[in-house]
Amino acid sequence: MSIIRREDYLQLFEEKKSSFIREFTEETPMNFFKSPDIAYRYRAEFGLLKEKEEYFYSMTQDGKKVAISSFPIGSMKIQNIMPLLLIKIQSNPIISHKLFQIEFQSSRNEEAMVSLIYHKELGNEWLEKASNISDELDISIIGRSKNKKIIIRNNYVTETYQYLDKNFSIKLYEQCFSQTNPYICDSMLSWVIDNLQAENDLMELHCGLGTFTIPLSYYFNRVLATENSRPSIQALQENIRLNNIENVYSGRLSGKETLEAFKGLRTFRRLKDIDLEQFKIDSIFLDPPREGLDSSTLRNIIGIKNIIYISCSMDSFKRDLQALKSTHNIIKLAMFDQFPYTEHIESGAILSKKN
């Protein structure tokens, strides 16, 4: 990677901040949250490149694999493991043969998990060699090939998030979406909780493995949290148990399906143990994928009093806010620099229904 300098980051952050301000003409209070300028990325994936009998981590640039010699934006745990693991790969043909992708996930609790992904079947010999590496580097290793997955130690790392004056821990499972930058995640959690208009019950769409669900559950009577990914909803249920939460009700549904069920338009066996009529939903938390909210979801949330919206795409964020402005006032806006040194902007909005 190119040399990273703090002054470059601060300049880029100010450019993003100015760009964010230009996107909105309303006189709405805005908050802006910086990231650390190095060692902020706790999840990363690389290809494996072989040149002159030597292996290198690689990233894709202009459609071509490019070898990298360092990764300063990675967590210190990832930075420390990378060269040690590469030595093991270089010296062990059973590990290196047909290995094409390597994924790292770490936490501020100093846990690390590495996924090794292959174009071959993994057998006992691979398991023995990988287990030795797991012990020597003190990491969890997951081997993946077609229709097979081998877990050595754990298939998760445990992260502790901090918001306002509180904290909580959750398990971040392999192949489940999680925040790559835990420092910005702390900022997002603090901003959301600090601006809540909590009254009765909350609906959360696209809840993932519970990063927002767990802290939000302390401020509402009940939370209805749904997610369309089977691994993520299983992870959510484990994190609910881990944190001894008793007021979260979860189901594997898309956002559109959740709202249709809540309005009585459809019934789902996946919600058979949840009495939706008992919920008094006056707040909804949204953290949708990049494409934003579909038209059905936009129609079905206009009657909800409070909307908390976190977005990873400025285009869909602006489009959806424009649609919601006919029924809601935008009370607060925020920019979170989740991915420094890129043009990417993570956004937040707090909306309240017009009288």
Cβ pair 348, 188 in contact under 8 A: yes
Catalytic residue among 51, 121, 312, 343: 312
* Tokens standing for residue 69: 């010699």
The position carrying tokens 């066996």 is 269
- Helices 124-137 and 76-91 cross at an angle (nearest 10°) of 140
Catalytic residue among 159, 174, 260, 346: 346
- CA distances to 45, 47, 176, 222, 349 from 228, in Å: 24, 29, 12, 20, 23
Distance CA 288, CA 297 (A): 11
Phi and psi, residue 12, nearest 5°: -65, -40
Phi and psi, residue 183, nearest 5°: -70, -40
Radius of gyration of the chain from Cα atoms? 22
- CA distances to 13, 98, 100, 137, 142 from 47, in Å: 29, 12, 6, 20, 16
Residue-wise over 96-116: b if at least 16 C-beta within 10 A, else e? beebeebbbbbbbeebbbbbb
Residue 346: active-site member = yes
Residue 312: active-site member = yes
Task: Give the residue among 168, 61, 64, 158 at the shortest CA–CA distance from 113.
Answer: 158
The position carrying tokens 């009577």 is 221
Q: Calculate the CA dihedral of residues 102, 227, 159, 351 and round it to 10 degrees.
A: 120
CB 127: neighbour CB atoms within 10 A?
15
Q: Which residues are catalytic?
A: 312, 346
